[in-house]
Amino acid sequence: MRTPVRFPARTSLEQILDTLEHDPAFAELVTHWERLPAKPARFAPFPEWLDGRVAHALRRRGIEQLYTHQAAALERTRAGKNVVVVTPTASGKTLCYDLPVLDAIAKDGSARALYLFPTKALAQDQLAELQRLSADIDIELKTFTYDGDTPPAARAAIRSAGHVVITNPDMLHTGILPHHTKWVKLFENLRFVVLDELHTYRGVFGSNVANVLRRLRRICRFYGSDPIFICTSATIANPEELARRHVEADVVLVDESGAPRGEKVLAFIQPPVVNLQLGIRKSALLVGRDIAAMLLASGVQTIAFTKSRVQTELLLTYLRARFPSPQWPPDLVRGYRSGYLPSERRAIERGLRDGTVRGVVSTNALELGIDLGALQAAVLVGYPGSVASTWQQMGRSGRREELSAAFLVATSSPTDQYVIQHPEFVLGRAPESGLVNPDNLHILVGHLKCGAFELPFETASGKAERFGTEDTAGVLAYLAEQGILHEAEGRYHWSDRAFPAQGMSLRTASNDNVVIIDTSGRDAPNPHKGNDARERVIGEVDRFAAPVLVHEQAIYLHESRQYQVERLDWENAKAYVTEVKVDYYTDADLAVRIRVLDEFSRSAVGRFDRAHGEVLVSALPTIFKKLTMFTHENVGWGRIHLPEQELQTTSFWLALPEATVRGWPKERVEIALAGLGNLLHGLAPLFLMCDPHDLGLAVEARSPHTERPSVFLFDMTPGGVGFSERLFRSLDPLLQRAREHLRSCPCGDGCPACVGPAYALGRDVRSAVAGLLG
Amino acid sequence: MTTDLAALRAKLDAIVARDPKPAASGLREAPSRSDISLAAFETRERRIDIGSLGLEVVGHGAPDPGVLVHLGLRGDPPRSWEDILFLDTETTGLSGGTGTYVFLLGTAHIEDGELVLRQHLLNDLGAERAFVRMLQGELGRFRACASYNGKCFDLPLLRSRFVMALRAEITVDASHLDLLHPARRLWRGRFGSVTLRQIEESVLDDGRVEDIPGEFIPDHYFRYLRARDPTLIGPVLEHNRRDIVSLIRVTDRVASAVVAARAGRAPDHPPAALALARAFDRAKEHEAAFGCYESAYVEGDLETRIRAALPYARALEKRGQVERALSLVETLFALGLGTPTWRASAEARLRRLGARPSGRLAARRRATTAT
**String of DSSP letters for A395-437:** TTB--SSS-EEEEEE--SSHHHHHHHH-THHHHSS--------
Residues A403, A476: one domain? no
> Which H or E run contains A271?
none
B79 DSSP assignment = S
Contacts for A212 with CB less than 8 Å, ≥ 6 apart: A169, A172, A173, A177, A447, A506
Instruction: Determine, yes or no, domain membership for A711.
Output: yes
Q: CA-CA distance, A143 to A101, in Å (whole number)?
A: 11
> Are A441 and B95 a contacting pair at CB < 8 A?
no
Q: Residue A500 falls within a domain, yes or no?
A: no
Show the DSSP H helices in A91-225 as ranges. Answer: 93-107, 120-135, 152-161, 169-171, 184-188, 203-223
Residue type at position B2: T
Q: CB under 8 Å to A525, separation ≥6 — which residues?
A: A534
Question: Which residues lie across from B84 on neighbouring strands?
Answer: B144
pLDDT of residue A718: 81
B154 and B293 within one domain: no
- Least reliable range by pLDDT among A311-315, A384-388, B196-200, B243-247: B196-200
Secondary structure letter of residue A490 according to DSSP: T
- B 261-320 residues inside an 8 A Cβ radius of A: none
Same domain, B80 and B118: yes
C-alpha to C-alpha distance for A101 and A190, rounded to whole angstroms: 10
Residue A74 has pLDDT above 50, yes or no: yes
Taking residue A395's Cβ as centre, other Cβ atoms within 10 Å add up to 21
Task: Provide the pLDDT confidence category of residue A565 given band limits of 50, 70 and 90.
Answer: very high
Mutate to test the interface with A, among B13, B125, B167, B236 (most CBs of A within 10 A): B125
pLDDT tier, B235 (very low <50, low <70, confident <90, very high otherwise): very high
Q: Given the DSSP bridges, would you call strands A608-628 and A584-605 parallel, antiparallel or unpaired?
A: antiparallel
- Do residues B322 and B226 both lie within one domain? no
Cβ neighbours around A248 below 10 Å, total:
16
Cα angle for residues B243, B276, B201 (degrees, 5° grid) = 30
pLDDT band at B28 (very low <50, low <70, confident <90, very high): very low
The answer to whether residue A645 sits within a structural domain is: yes
Residue A699 maps to a domain: yes
**Is residue B240 assigned to a domain?**
yes
Same domain, A667 and A747: yes
pLDDT band at A376 (very low <50, low <70, confident <90, very high): confident
pLDDT at B163 over 90: yes
Selecting from A445, A454, A478 the residue whose C-beta is nearest the C-beta of B98 gives A454
The answer to whether the beta carbons of residues A577 and A517 sit under 8 Å apart is yes
CATH of the domain at B84: 3.30.420.10
In this prediction, residue A338 has a pLDDT band, given cuts at 50, 70 and 90, of low
Query: Do residues A731 and A605 lie in contact, with contact meaning Cβ atoms separated by under 8 Å?
Result: yes
Looking at the structure, do residues B363 and B230 belong to the same domain, yes or no?
A: no
B97–chain A Cβ distance below 8 A for any pair: yes
Determine, for residues B16 and A499 on separate chains, whether the beta-carbon distance falls below 8 Å: no
**Which site among A159, A440, A497 would you substitute to test the B interface, given the most B Cβ atoms closer than 10 Å to its Cβ?**
A497
Res. A168: pLDDT tops 50: yes
Who among B3, B99, B219 is closest to A454 (CB)?
B99
> Is B181 part of any domain?
yes
Residue B269 φ then ψ, to 5°: -100, 110
Residue range of the domain that includes A625? 587-773
Beta strands A43-44 and A143-145 are: unpaired
Q: Inform me whether the C-beta atom of residue B17 falls under 8 Å from chain A C-beta atoms.
A: no
**pLDDT value for A549:** 84
Contact predicate A40/A401, CB 8 Å: no
Of residues B221 and B72, more confidently modeled: B221
| Chain B residues inside the 8 Å CB shell of A612 | none
Kindly state whether residues B292 and B166 are assigned to the same domain: no
Whether the CB of B96 is below 8 Å from some CB of chain A: the reply is yes
Best B98, B158, B167 member to test A by mutation, with max A CBs in 10 Å, is B98
Last residue of a domain, one of B260, B285, B304: B260
The confidence score (pLDDT) of residue A352 equals: 78
Q: In the β-sheet with A82-86, what is the strand arrangement from edge to edge?
A: A143-145, A164-167, A112-116, A190-195, A228-233, A82-86, A251-254
- Residue A744 — very low, low, confident or very high, per pLDDT cuts 50/70/90? confident
Query: Is the predicted pLDDT of residue B33 greater than 60, yes or no?
Result: no
- Determine the distance in angstroms separating the CA of B61 from the nearest CA of chain A, rounded to an integer: 38
According to DSSP H, which parts of B167-229 are helical? 180-191, 196-202, 217-227
**Domain end marker among B260, B294, B317:** B260
A224 touches chain B (CB under 8 A): no
Distance of CA B154 to the CA centre of its chain: 12
In a domain, A7, yes or no: no
Q: Residue A34 pairs with which residues in a beta bridge? A: A266
A194's CB contacts (< 8 A; 6+ apart) are A97, A101, A113, A114, A115, A116, A229, A230, A231
B328: domain range?
265-370
Q: Can you tell me the distance from the alpha carbon of B280 to that of A162, in angstroms, rounded to the nearest whole number?
A: 39
Task: Calculate mean pLDDT across residues A382-393.
Answer: 85
A276 pLDDT band, cuts 50/70/90, is: low
Q: What is the mean pLDDT of residues A261-270?
A: 92
Residues paired with A696 in a beta bridge: A714
Across the interface, whether the CB atoms of A478 and B94 are under 8 A apart is answered: no
| Omega within 30 of 0 (cis) for the link into A326 | yes
Task: Tell me how far apart the alpha carbons of residues A474 and A459 are, in angstroms, rounded to a whole number.
Answer: 11
A180 touches chain B (CB under 8 A): yes
Domain match, B191 and B282 both: no
Whether B61 and B93 map to the same domain: the answer is yes
A678 vs A366 pLDDT, higher one: A678
Residues A536 and A566 both lie in one domain:
yes
- pLDDT value of position A542: 66
- Is A504 inside a domain boundary? no
Q: pLDDT band for A95, please (50, 70, 90 cuts).
A: very high
| Residue A179 touches partner B, C-beta closer than 8 Å | yes
Q: Please name every residue paired with A612 in a beta bridge, in sequence order, or none if there are none.
A: A601, A652
Contact yes or no for A455 and B225 at CB 8 A? no
DSSP character at residue A302: E
Q: Which one of B230, B260, B290 terminates a domain?
A: B260
Q: How would you list the strands of the sheet with A491-494, edge to edge?
A: A457-458, A491-494, A485-488
Q: How far is residue A547's CA from residue A562's CA, in Å, rounded to a whole number? A: 18
Same domain, A163 and A24: no
Residues of chain B contacting A216 with CB distance shorter than 8 Å: none
How confident is the model over A601-630, as a mean pLDDT?
A: 88
Closest listed residue to residue A112, CA positions, set A79, A73, A143, A155: A143
Pair (A698, A759) in one structural domain: yes
Kindly report the three-state secondary structure assignment for every residue of A439-486.
CCHHHHHHHHHHHHHHCCEECCCCCCCCCCCCCHHHHHHHHHHCCCEE
- State residue A660's pLDDT score: 86
Q: Per-residue pLDDT averaged across A343-356, rounded?
A: 77
Looking at the predicted structure, is the pLDDT value of residue B134 above 50? yes
Helix ranges (H only) for A173-276 are: 184-188, 203-223, 239-247
On whether both A449 and A414 belong to a single domain, the answer is: no
| pLDDT-based confidence at residue B197 (cuts at 50, 70, 90) | confident
- Spatial contact of B219 and A496, defined as CB atoms under 8 Å apart: no
The domain total for chain A is: 5
Interface touch A178/B28, C-beta < 8 Å: no
Q: Is the pLDDT of residue A764 over 60?
A: yes
Average pLDDT over residues A184-204: 94
Give me Rg for the CA atoms of chain B.
27
How confident is the model over B208-227, as pLDDT tens digits?
Answer: 777 888 888 999 999 999 88
For residues A272 and A290, the answer to whether their CB atoms sit within 8 Å is no
- pLDDT, averaged across chain A: 86
In a domain, A499, yes or no: no
Query: B211 and B289 share a domain?
Result: no
Across A362-376, A587-601, B325-339, least confident range: A362-376
- Crossing angle of helices A441-454 and A472-481, in 10° steps, is 70
Predicted pLDDT of residue A530? 43
Name the residue facing B98 among A179, A481, A598 (closest C-beta): A179
Least confident of A53-62, A128-137, A179-188, A341-350: A341-350
Torsion-angle region of A536 (φ positive above 0: left; ψ -120 to 50: alpha; else: beta): beta
Residue A340, Cβ neighbours under 10 Å: how many?
21
Q: Which residues of B touch A544 (CB under 8 A)?
A: none
Q: Given pLDDT bands bounded at 50, 70 and 90, which one contains residue A278?
A: low
Q: Is B14–A648 a contact, with Cβ atoms under 8 angstroms apart?
A: yes
Read off the pLDDT of each residue in A139-154 and give the average, rounded to a whole number: 86
Q: Do B22 and A497 touch (CB under 8 A)?
A: yes
Residue in chain B lying closest to A500 (CA): B99
CB contacts, 8 Å: B16 with chain A: 445, 478-479, 482, 484
In whole angstroms, what is the distance from residue A700 CA to residue A487 CA?
48
CA distance to A174, B278, B337, B363, per residue, from B367 (Å): 64, 35, 16, 6
Q: Does residue B2 belong to the interface with chain A, where contact is any CB pair within 8 Å?
A: yes
Asked whether residue B246 falls in the same domain as residue B290, the answer is: no
Compare A148 and B121 and report the one with higher pLDDT.
B121
- pLDDT on residue A315: 92
B107 neighbors B135 (Cβ within 8 angstroms): no
Higher model confidence: residue A432 or residue B35? A432
The answer to whether B22 contacts chain A (CB < 8 Å) is yes
Task: Let me know whether A74 and A165 are in one domain.
Answer: yes
In chain A, what percentage of residues exceed pLDDT 70? Answer: 91
Q: Quote the CA–CA distance of A427 and A418 in Å, as a whole number.
A: 13
- C-alpha dihedral (A273, A278, A284, A286), degrees to nearest 10: -80
The whole-number pLDDT of residue B71 equals: 87
Given this model, what pLDDT does residue A116 score?
97
Give the pLDDT of residue A629: 67
Q: What is the pLDDT of residue A275?
A: 65
Is the pLDDT at A528 greater than 60? The verdict is: no
pLDDT, tens digit, for every residue of A404-453? 999 999 987 778 888 898 898 888 877 688 889 999 888 999 999 999 99
Q: Are residues A243 and A267 in the same domain?
A: no
Say what the pLDDT of residue B359 is. 46
A471 touches chain B (CB under 8 A): yes
Task: Give the mean pLDDT of A314-326.
Answer: 89
Contact A495 B225 (CB under 8 A): yes
Backbone angles phi, psi at A523, to 5 degrees: -85, -10
For residue B6, tell me if it sits in a domain.
no
- My answer on whether A244 and A307 are in the same domain is no
B231 shares its domain with B297: no
Q: Which pLDDT belongs to residue A385? A: 78
B139: Cβ contacts below 8 Å, ≥ 6 apart: B85, B107, B145, B158, B170, B171, B172
Residue A458 touches partner B, C-beta closer than 8 Å: no
Give the residue-averaged pLDDT of B235-250. 93
B1 contacts in chain A (CB < 8 Å): 439, 470, 600
For residue B262, the tally of other CB atoms under 10 A from its CB is 21
Cα distances (Å, whole numbers) of residue B329 to A425, A438, A720, B309: 83, 70, 72, 6
10 Å CB burial of residue A525 (0-12, 13-18, 19+) is exposed
The Cα-based distances of A612 to A70, A156, A704 in angstroms read 42, 50, 15
Report the pLDDT value the prediction gives residue A342, as an integer from 0 to 100.
59
Of the ranges A23-27, A556-560, B88-92, which one carries the lowest mean pLDDT score? A556-560
Residue B103 has pLDDT above 60, yes or no: yes
| The pLDDT of residue A29 is above 60 | yes
Mean pLDDT of B138-164: 95
Give pLDDT, residue B20.
45
Domain edge (last residue) among A554, A582, A610: A582
Chain A contact set for B14 (CB, 8 A): 648
| Bridge partner residues of A143 (DSSP) | A164
Same domain (yes/no): A356, A380: yes
pLDDT at residue A769 in the model: 92
Last residue of a domain, one of A205, A233, A254: A254
> CB of B124 within 8 Å of any CB in chain A?
yes
The stretch A720-747 carries a mean pLDDT of: 86
**What is the residue type of B325?**
A
Name the band, by pLDDT with cuts 50, 70 and 90, for residue A632: low
- B222: closest CA of chain A, how far (Å): 7
Q: What is the number of domains present in chain B? A: 2
CA angle A552, A553, A558 (to 5 degrees): 100
Computed over every residue of chain B, the mean pLDDT equals: 84
Q: Is B138 inside any structural domain?
A: yes
Instruction: Look at residue A687 and tell me if it is in a domain.
Output: yes
Q: Are both B41 and B77 inside the same structural domain?
A: yes
A522 — contact with chain B (CB < 8 Å)?
no
CATH of the domain at B341: 1.25.40.10
Report how far residue A768's alpha carbon sits from residue B284's, in angstroms, rounded to the nearest whole number: 94
pLDDT over 90 (residue A288):
yes
A453 touching chain B per CB within 8 A: yes
Say if the Cβ atoms of B97 and A474 lie within 8 Å. Answer: no
C-alpha to C-alpha distance for A376 and A203, rounded to whole angstroms: 32
- Single residue among A427, A459, A481 that ends a domain in this structure: A427
The answer to whether residue A16 scores a pLDDT higher than 80 is yes
CB nearest to A498's CB, from B1, B22, B96 = B22
Assign A248 a pLDDT band (cuts: 50, 70, 90).
Answer: very high
Contact between A478 and B96 using a beta-carbon 8 Å cutoff = no
Predicted complex ipTM:
0.83
Question: Does residue A593 surpass a pLDDT of 60?
Answer: yes
CA dist., res. A311 & res. A632, Å (int): 13
E-strand ranges in chain B read 41-49, 73-74, 84-91, 102-111, 114-122, 144-147, 175-178
Whether B369 shows a pLDDT value over 50: the answer reads no
Residue A279: pLDDT over 70: no
Q: Do A445 and B12 touch (CB under 8 A)?
A: yes
The residue of chain B nearest to residue A224, with distances taken between CA atoms, is: B167
Same domain, B256 and B269: no
Residues 6+ apart with CB under 8 A from A59: none
Chain A residues whose beta carbon lies within 8 Å of the beta carbon of residue B163 = 181, 184
The pLDDT score that the predictor gives to residue B21 is 42
Let me know whether A54 and A145 are in one domain: yes
For residues A452 and A494, give the distance between their C-alpha atoms in angstroms, rounded to a whole number.
Answer: 5
Instruction: Indicate whether B49 pLDDT > 80.
Output: yes
> In this structure, what CATH number is given to the domain that contains residue A146?
3.40.50.300
Chain B residues with CB-CB distance to A454 below 8 A? 98-99
Burial of A573 (0-12, 13-18, 19+ CB in 10 A): middle
Lowest mean pLDDT among A328-332, A667-671, A708-712, B80-84: A328-332
Contacts of A725 in chain B (CB under 8 A): none
CB contact under 8 A, A497 and B94: yes
Q: Check residue B358 and give its pLDDT.
A: 47
**Does A603 lie in the same domain as A574?**
no
